[in-house]
Amino acid sequence: MNPVPLARWQFALTTIFHWLFVPLTLGLSLFIALVQTWYVRTGNEKYKQIARFFGPLLLLNFAMGVVTGIVQEFHFGLNWSEYSRFMGDIFGAPLAIEALLAFYLESTFLAVWYFGWDRLSKKAHLATAWLAALGTNISAYWILTANSFMQHPRGYTLQGGRALMADFFALITNPNIPFQFTHVLSGGLALAGFVVMAFAAWYLLKGREKELFGVAFRWGARFALIGSLLVGIIGHFQGQFVLQAQPMKMAAAEALWETEQPASFVVFAIPNERARTNALAIRIPYLLSFLSYNNFTARVEGLKDLEKAAVAQYGPGQYIPPVAVNFYAFRIMVLAGLLMIGLAALAVAAKRPESRPGLLKVLLWAPILPYLAGTAGWIVAEVGRWPWIVYGLLRIEDAISPNVSAGNIIFSLVILTGLYAVLSVLAFRLALKHGAQEAVGQAAEAY
C-alpha cells in the first residue's frame, strides 16, 4: 500500500481539526481583552461579566488548540522526515521562534488571566489579557511565515539537496505573509464575533440576562462585520497575489481549463477532470478578468497552458492540482464569506436585537459559516499547491518518511482521528453546556 495518500490524509485531517479551534482563540482573545479594557475604563461590571463569561470558552478552545497543535509540530518529523531534512534549515527557525515568542507568552498569561482575577490589580490583570491575545496572534504570524515559504519560497539557496536560509529578513517579510496573516486574523475576528453573537442570541431568545447579552450581542456584531468585511477585501487582493505566485492554484480554484481573454467567471459548474472540461457552467462574462487584474479584458491563463509551462520548467509530470476539490472549496469559502457579511450587517443594523427572534434564530447557527469558510480556505491553500509540498522545490511524494510504513500510518490515522472526533464532540457539548448555565455570575465563578 502506498503510504503517501495515507500520510496526506492524516496531515489534512489533523490540520483541519486543529484549525477548528485555533481561529476562535485568535479572535476571542482579542474580544475579551477589548471588553475587559472597557471594564477597566468605565468601571461597568457588565463588561467584566462578559469577559468572564467567555473565559472558559476561550480556555476550552485553547486547550484543544494546544493538544492538536503539538501533534502538528511532531508531524513534520513523524511523517515528513524528508521534508524536515530538506527544509529544516529554514522551517525549524520560525517554529522554534513561535514557541519562544508566542507559546510561552500565551500559555503563561492566559493562565495568569484565568486564575488571577483576585490576585492582581485591575490594570495588571488587564495587561495579562492583552499579553495572552498578543501571544496568540504572534503565534499565527510565525506559523504563517513558515507556511508562506512553502507557498512562495523566498530568501533561500539550494545546496547539497537541501534548502538553506540565505536571508532571514526575506523569510519573515515574504510578500505572501501580509495577505495570509491579515486574512487569517480577520477570519478569527469574524468567527469570534459570530460565536459571541450565537451565545448572546441564545440568551436573548430565552429572555434571560437581556441587558448583559444585549451588550455582548452588539460587540459581537461589530466584530463579525469588521472581520467579515476585512477577510473578504483582503481575500480579494490575496487572490490577485496568489494568481501571480501560484497561477495553477487559482486556475484550479476557478476551474479555468482554457486560457481566456476576456475571462468569464464560473459561478457554478461541475468540473470533469478526465475530460478536462466543466459541465453545467453558469458564467458571468468579463468578471474573472476584472477580479484577477482589475481590467475587464485581461487575459487569464488556463490550466492546460499552465501545465505546458510547468512541464517546460520542471520536466515531464503531473502538475494540475485536484480541480474539483479546489473549485468547490473556493466557492464554499466565498459563498460563506458573503453570507457572513450580509448576516453581520443585519446584526449591526438591528437596533433592538431582542425583538428580532427570526434573526436571532439564524444567528444561533451562523458560526457554521466562518468554520466552513476557514476550513475551505485552507483546503484551497494546501491542496491547490499540489504536486508541491514546497512550491517549485520539493514534491509531496519526495517528502514523506521512508521508514514509516503504511500500516503504521493507518494505526496513527485511526487513533488520532477517532480521538479527535470524540474530543471535538465533547468540547462542543461542553461549550453549549457552558452557554446554558443557569446564571451568568455562576458561570464565571463556579470552577
Contact pick of 77, 317, 342, 357 for other proteins (by CB under 8 A): 77
Of 24 and 225, the one with the shorter C-beta distance to other proteins is: 24
Q: Report CA-CA distances (Å) from 130 to 134, 237, 289, 310.
A: 6, 29, 43, 47
Rounded CA separation 418/226 (Å): 36
Map the footprint of other proteins across residues 391-410, applying CB under 8 A: 401-405, 408
Of 30-38, 158-166, 216-224, 352-360: span binding other proteins (CB under 8 A): 158-166
First to last CA, the chain: 49
- CB proximity list for 343: less than 8 A, separation 6 or greater: 194, 224, 362, 363, 366, 369
**Minimum distance, C-beta of residue 55 to other proteins, in the bound complex (Å):** 10
Phi, psi of 270 (to 5 degrees): -115, 100
Rounded CA separation 258/273 (Å): 13
Q: Are 179 and 158 in contact (CB under 8 A)?
A: no
Contact pick of 13, 67, 233, 324 for other proteins (by CB under 8 A): 67
**Minimum distance, C-beta of residue 184 to other proteins, in the bound complex (Å):** 20
Contact pick of 39, 47, 54, 114 for other proteins (by CB under 8 A): 114
The 8-class DSSP code of residue 400 comes to: S
Of 43 and 418, the one with the shorter C-beta distance to other proteins is: 418
Does position 440 bind other proteins by CB under 8 A?
no
| Residue 254, C-alpha cell as written in the block | 476557478
Map the footprint of other proteins across residues 408-427, applying CB under 8 A: 408, 411-412, 415-416, 419, 423, 426-427
Of 99 and 270, the one with the shorter C-beta distance to other proteins is: 99
Does position 165 bind other proteins by CB under 8 A?
yes
Contact pick of 41, 43, 44, 99 for other proteins (by CB under 8 A): 99
Query: Where are any strands of DSSP class E within 168-276?
Result: 265-272
Does position 74 bind other proteins by CB under 8 A?
yes
Of 66 and 350, the one with the shorter C-beta distance to other proteins is: 66
Of 171 and 212, the one with the shorter C-beta distance to other proteins is: 171
Of 96-104, 193-201, 208-216, 343-351: span binding other proteins (CB under 8 A): 96-104
Contact pick of 35, 60, 216, 347 for other proteins (by CB under 8 A): 60
Classify each residue of 71-102 as buried b or exposed e, where b means 16 or more C-beta atoms within 10 Å of its C-beta.
bbeebbebbbbbbbebbbbbbebbbebbeebb
Of 98 and 254, the one with the shorter C-beta distance to other proteins is: 98
Rg (CA), the chain: 23
Query: Of how many residues is the chain composed?
Result: 447
Residues facing 332 on adjacent strands: none
Of 50 and 105, the one with the shorter C-beta distance to other proteins is: 105
CB atoms within 10 A of CB 282: 11
Of 160, 171, 175, nearest to 90 by C-alpha is: 171
Does position 111 bind other proteins by CB under 8 A?
yes
Contact pick of 4, 16, 40, 81 for other proteins (by CB under 8 A): 81
**Minimum distance, C-beta of residue 91 to other proteins, in the bound complex (Å):** 7
Does position 138 bind other proteins by CB under 8 A?
no
Query: Where are any strands of DSSP class E within 55-187?
Result: 156-159, 162-165
Of 315 and 402, the one with the shorter C-beta distance to other proteins is: 402
Exposure of 268 in the CB half-sphere (CA atoms within 13 A): 3
Q: Report CA-CA distances (Å) from 69 to 59, 64, 180, 216, 425.
A: 15, 8, 19, 30, 18
Of 123 and 447, the one with the shorter C-beta distance to other proteins is: 447
Residues near other proteins (CB under 8 A) are 56, 59-60, 63-64, 66-68, 70-71, 73-74, 76-79, 81-82, 84-85, 87-93, 95-101, 103-105, 107-112, 114-116, 119-120, 164-166, 168, 401-405, 408, 411-412, 415-416, 419, 423, 426-427, 430, 433-434, 447
